[in-house]
Structure 1
Amino acid sequence: MEMQKMSNGSHHEYETLDKGIQPEEESFLPEKTDTGKKIQFNDFEGKTSFGMSAFNLSNAIMGSGILGLSYAMSNTGIVLFLILLTAIALLSSYSVHLLLRSAGVVGIRAYEQLGLRAFGQPGKILAGVIITLHNIGAMSSYLFIVKYELPLVIQAFLGQTSSSGDWFMNGNYLIVIVSVTTILPLALMKHLGYLGYTSGFSLTCMVFFLSSVIYKRFNIPCPLEAFGNFSNNATIPEDTCTAKFFTINQETAYTIPILAFAFVCHPEVLPIYTELYNPTKRRMQGIANVSILGMFVMYLLTAIFGYLTFYANTEAELLHTYSKVDPLDTLILCVRVAVLVAVTLTVPVVLFPIRRALLQLLFPEKAFSWIRHVAIAVCLLFCVNLLVILVPNIRDIFGIIGATTAPCLIFILPGLFYIRIVPIEQEPMSSRPKIQAACFTSMGFLFMTMSLTFIGMDWMSGEKRSGGGH
């Protein structure tokens, strides 16, 4: 089955030459043509290897929320946490399947263009806006970590117990320096595949973080005097150092959205697919499955060993809990540096889908231009830096964005794209795949409603119950 590019040169508009073959029988990328050369969906031939693509997607999945997973486990119990984490990982993999399946039917590998194909121009605009808002929120959350953690790291290296008035201890100056010297040069890369090496190093930093969490589990005794006045003669509560397998409390419902958002990587799936060498649906699905499985293992081990270190005393930010034990711990200081490096190297990976979405919305028919490429990256970093500097606490804004955009990207849009794009002649609405996609979409609306309800409850009660993030 051969696919040919239409005369306007756009990478997303194709038509099938042979109308007699049903879409489900079409090969997404034909192995051979009359000339023996593969036909690509655009003029750029993907050169990124399977491994580098897996590094990039894993880096996109992994976020600052990994620091709050032990706290989530303390509010669900080990078994319930495992059930929820497994279910959400499987749902995320299924979501990628729907996305790739929709892309395969129409020969489009751009999230915004799938929206255009499914719902016309409003669908394209909606998809682009959702990706932009979600990833700007993610970039801001990473830079907030740099803003508040990097001064503490510098302070510890200088052996100071309190912050001085020096400029290099000011988080606002530090995020600008980090953005200009590290993030911007990486964001100016022409192709996302080039960031595979930095993504691999970022993942190595998080593996070091995980190794330290496992080591500290056997190094820190329980109970801890830092969390209570326990003397030799004092009576210690029986459940202080007891792991719980099932826990249901006021915090439990908050952990479900946190876990769901921990696997958001869908804006990066199609850009990574575009730059993949020898791209096929099966190959890209394999990359997604490997990445999701790797992050599932890392999330689970971090949550278990962090929880089994502090039990009921686990705080929303795991590193802060370690600091209560020993603020000058050298290993924890190194872990802080590793986490800072990891989140810094993740920002350029998150920036690429935003730039792609803006290019699709503003310059859909334009060829690649270095001027636009650089200008959009500079403007995005400027706006995000300004947001992080000027707004002291934008957690509520992040909460609203996360509660609306994350369910859309994971559940709602992939399900709707599948329902709208796959022809009813091929799969009627009464078919099992379409019914599953409809249920999947409904689940997204349920997640969105739950998240917005919890945020509203927080606002009305004046409390901030839980932490988390992407």
Structure 2
Amino acid sequence: MELEEKRNGHCREEGFDGLEAMAEDDKFLPNKSGGKKEIAFTDFEGKTSFGMSIFNLSNAIMGSGILGLAFAMSNTGIILFIILLVFIAILSAYSIHLLLKSAGVVGIRAYEQLGYRAFGQPGKMLAACIITIHNIGAMSSYLFIVKSELPLVIQVFLDKHENTGEWFMNGNYLILIVSALIILPLALMKQLGYLGYTSGFSLSCMVFFLISVIYKKFNIACPLPDVHPNLTHIADNFAAMNETGDSCEAKLFTMNSQTVYTIPILAFAFVCHPEVLPIYTELRDANKKRMQRVANVSILAMFIMYLLTALFGYLTFYAGVESELLHTYSQVDTMDKLILCVRLAVLVAVTLTVPVVLFPIRRAVLQILFPEKPFHWGRHIGIAFCLISLVNVLVIFVPSIRDIFGLIGATSAPSLIFILPAIFYIRIVPIDQEPLKSRPKIQAACFAAVGFIFMVMSLSFIISDWATGESRSGGGH
């Protein structure tokens, strides 16, 4: 998502706060009071070029979800995965259309404020809570990558061919250390500042990751050679499949107990909707058609990148792929220098992105709990400490990154992609402009219903999978 929540996707913090306050007073909208037009939000002159806006939105889409796509393909087959990927990409573009149409009607370009205009304070609180939940899930997925990958990096630097169990190679201890020494100090900054520049580095890391995945496909033989039994239980499963001769066969269609995680993983990977409206605000010569083109090009670019990553990752490991693709390469050679470089780049990117993602969560918490209070260092520090502590607890006790992708992808992701844009559109667009029985509003209502059905079904299947204690393939640790 998916590395999401970048500075470029937020717009300027202080100016944005003032604009939000104007929205609640209905001063965003032009009126003819006294024959003089009020200053409207749509009068803001953006300075970001079309190309840079595509870069910013692509950054907002790109996230840790890319690491789970090969696992998703292994549990659906190539054809079914492509169908689902196209389906989610088209629906994401349509939901952005709904957001832009709603924003154009009321002159507001902030997700929470659309909720306020649609349903008042409850709507604003609902949007803020869902965005907060999604960002906590994103932070958890980033720290899970640290938990999974950092021990392997230390193992290579110590020239060890296996994890011998020392405390400094325990992922749980390492995320606590990284959180205390790096993430918390950066999260205590008053403004995002230079942290926003990590967005470009994050996207570069993922491009490097994709190139490495494609390269390794042609350098790893199938079936895999014998691997150390302590690496992961997935390696044992892979060895068992080798005996049946099925391990190196690509499946076009397949269904199993893990297939239920596919759509949540894809939805998690395409969430960028809280950033769409701020990027729209910064776009030069902004209008709905131009911003929709930005969204379409960005989604297409990420679609291609996601498809290539999933395809080449799957065709490297087939049914042996783990839910965190990068970790799967430890089955072949823990000491591989190229994969070490990829791991280091991804680790630095996700570590620096966690405090960036924390800023909007803290801002939402302040709006919910202390809406009228001025800035106070005690609250600023306390909220950051509590959020980081909560995320650490989640990462320590959640057994697989697949569970994070699945749970967040089945709850906040469909809310942000399907449900909220549709119900905001239905409420905000005037009835005299589009009656409730008009085709666009019926489509929006069906869109929201699809999102709700998807959420209920995905959660039901995932909870059922947890309850039955199915093989938790893809543990990634």
What's the TM-score bracket when you normalise by the shorter of the two chains? Answer: 0.7 to 0.9
2:424 aligned partner, one-letter code: F
1:6-155 matched pairs, under 5 angstroms: 10-11=22-23, 13=26, 14-17=28-31, 41=41, 46-155=46-155
Match of 2:384 among 368, 374, 381: 381
2:385 aligned partner, one-letter code: F
1:179 aligned partner, one-letter code: I
- CA gap of 1:398–1:379, structure 2 versus 1, over 3 A, is farther
- For the pair 1:327 / 2:370, whether they are aligned, the reply is no
2:192 aligned partner, one-letter code: M
- For the pair 1:269 / 2:276, whether they are aligned, the reply is yes
Q: How many residues align?
A: 438
Contact preservation (8 Å) 1:268, 1:350: no
d(CA) in 2 for partners of 1:229 and 1:340?
Answer: 27
Q: CA deviation at 1:86?
A: 0.8
d(CA) in 1 for partners of 2:363 and 2:206?
Answer: 27
Which residue pairs with 2:231 in the alignment?
A: none
d(CA) in 2 for partners of 1:202 and 1:115?
Answer: 30
Q: Secondary structure at the match of 2:397?
A: coil
- For the pair 1:286 / 2:290, whether they are aligned, the reply is no
Q: Deviations over 1:292-349 (max 9, x none)?
A: 2221111100110011111122222212221011111111111111221232343344
TM-score by length of 1: 0.82
d(CA) in 2 for partners of 1:265 and 1:229?
Answer: 35
d(CA) in 2 for partners of 1:157 and 1:95?
Answer: 46
d(CA) in 2 for partners of 1:83 and 1:468?
Answer: 26
- CA gap of 1:468–1:88, structure 2 versus 1, over 3 A, is farther
1:158-307 matched pairs, under 5 angstroms: 158-160=158-160, 161=162, 162-165=164-167, 170-171=173-174, 172-180=176-184, 188-189=191-192, 197-226=197-226, 237-307=244-314
d(CA) in 1 for partners of 2:238 and 2:42?
Answer: 66
Structure 1 runs not aligned, ≥5 long: 1-5, 20-32
The structure where helix makes up a greater share of residues is 2
d(CA) in 2 for partners of 1:443 and 1:85?
Answer: 16
**Deviates most, 250-259 or 200-209:** 250-259
Q: Secondary structure at the match of 2:41?
A: coil
- For the pair 1:413 / 2:413, whether they are aligned, the reply is no
Structure 2 runs not aligned, ≥5 long: 1-17, 227-234
d(CA) in 2 for partners of 1:266 and 1:230?
Answer: 38
Contact preservation (8 Å) 1:53, 1:196: no
- CA gap of 1:107–1:355, structure 2 versus 1, over 3 A, is farther
d(CA) in 2 for partners of 1:456 and 1:424?
Answer: 40
Q: Secondary structure at the match of 1:425?
A: coil
d(CA) in 2 for partners of 1:375 and 1:254?
Answer: 40
Contact preservation (8 Å) 1:109, 1:270: yes
- For the pair 1:447 / 2:454, whether they are aligned, the reply is yes
d(CA) in 1 for partners of 2:238 and 2:22?
Answer: 69
Which residue pairs with 1:25 in the alignment?
A: none
d(CA) in 1 for partners of 2:440 and 2:134?
Answer: 28
d(CA) in 2 for partners of 1:310 and 1:173?
Answer: 32
d(CA) in 2 for partners of 1:134 and 1:345?
Answer: 18
Contact preservation (8 Å) 1:254, 1:466: no
**Deviates most, 316-325 or 285-294:** 285-294
Q: CA deviation at 1:9?
A: 6.7
Match of 1:393 among 378, 397, 420: 397
Q: Percent identity?
A: 66
- CA gap of 1:303–1:351, structure 2 versus 1, over 3 A, is same
d(CA) in 2 for partners of 1:364 and 1:272?
Answer: 25
- CA gap of 1:152–1:257, structure 2 versus 1, over 3 A, is same
- CA gap of 1:150–1:43, structure 2 versus 1, over 3 A, is farther
Q: Secondary structure at the match of 1:328?
A: coil
1:173 aligned partner, one-letter code: I
- For the pair 1:404 / 2:411, whether they are aligned, the reply is yes
Contact preservation (8 Å) 1:105, 1:422: yes
Alignment RMSD, CA only?
Answer: 3.6
Contact preservation (8 Å) 1:112, 1:360: no
d(CA) in 2 for partners of 1:222 and 1:154?
Answer: 28
TM-score by length of 2: 0.81
Q: Deviations over 1:339-392 (max 9, x none)?
A: 2123234334433443453455456678xx7x46x7766444322321244452
